[in-house]
Amino acid sequence: MSPSGYYAWAVRPASARDVENQRILTRIKEIHEDSGGVIGAPRMHEDLSIEGERLSLNRVARLMAVNGVQGWPRKKGRGRKRQAARPEGLKNHLARDFTAAEPETKWVTDITEVTTTEGKLFLCVVLDLYSKLIVGWSMHHRQDRYMVIRAVEMAVWQRTSSQPVILHSDRGAQFTSGDYQRALKFNNLISSMSAVGHCSDNAACEGFFGILKRERVNYRRYRTRDEARSDIFDYIERFHNPRMRRRLAKQDQQFSAILNRP
């Protein structure tokens, strides 16, 4: 390169493309930091699209790679769970149909465990299949029926309608217990349960747990159960639910735009 060419390049103002890339990169770093440093290019592209940015996945991936912004890789699973005995008189009302046309029509629930130095902490959530919001959750050092009932009661407390809701779970002892089934009937909830040994029958809830652990739990070392509770609360209420609300608002805007077309 000639000296004149170098000095001309050094004083040349940034192009419109460079300015736009810098603006997008600033927002990418903000979202990445807010997620705890776990979001990769696909989910970053999804979040930016929800915010109204019009750009390709390749552009997002390139900006992240060039500037050293990367998510955490997915860990491999441990294989299939062992089968349990099948209780009588309980049906699978979802039949692996995890779509919902309206909120508060289909919920799914399940339990997962989180390891701490103090011992295990169990988390039960209730997820609305329409909005993907966690509408109810509960944590305890024992995975008993009272923990899952508290999660259901939280979801019922936030419910805006008294119409029946299908609540799908696996066939764990907590969900087949008499107290749990009576709580569902009292709150006008229809019990739905997976087939024996078919974890994919509750894939929506399992999927949320996978994302929670991949984006937060697997990269933390919790000293106490209270520390784990605080961090999981932060993920659900400060990160996951607000993100799902933004996605839902974006979908509503797009649907309204289609309806209002001349």
User: 92-103 pLDDT, tens per residue?
Assistant: 888 888 888 889
For residue 130, give both structure tokens: 């329409």
- Predicted confidence at residue 82, as pLDDT, reads 45
Tokens of 202: 């509750």
Amino acid at 82: R
Q: Is residue 3 part of a domain?
A: no
Residues 172, 219, single domain; the answer is: yes
Regarding whether 58 and 111 lie in a shared domain, the answer is no
Query: Structure pTM?
Result: 0.69
| Residues present in the chain in total | 262
Report CA-CA distances (Å) from 259 to 59, 188, 254: 31, 34, 9
Residue 31, domain extent: 11-72
Contacts (Cβ under 8 Å, ≥6 apart) of 243: 47, 50
Name the helix (H) or strand (E) containing 67. none
Tokens of 148: 């899952």
Q: What total of structural domains would you count in the chain?
A: 2
Same domain as 119, residue 66: no
Q: Is residue 138 part of a domain?
A: yes
Q: pLDDT tens, 149-189?
A: 999 999 999 998 889 999 999 888 888 888 899 999 999 99
Q: What value does the mean pLDDT of the chain take?
A: 85
Q: Enumerate the β-bridge partners of residue 124.
A: 111, 138
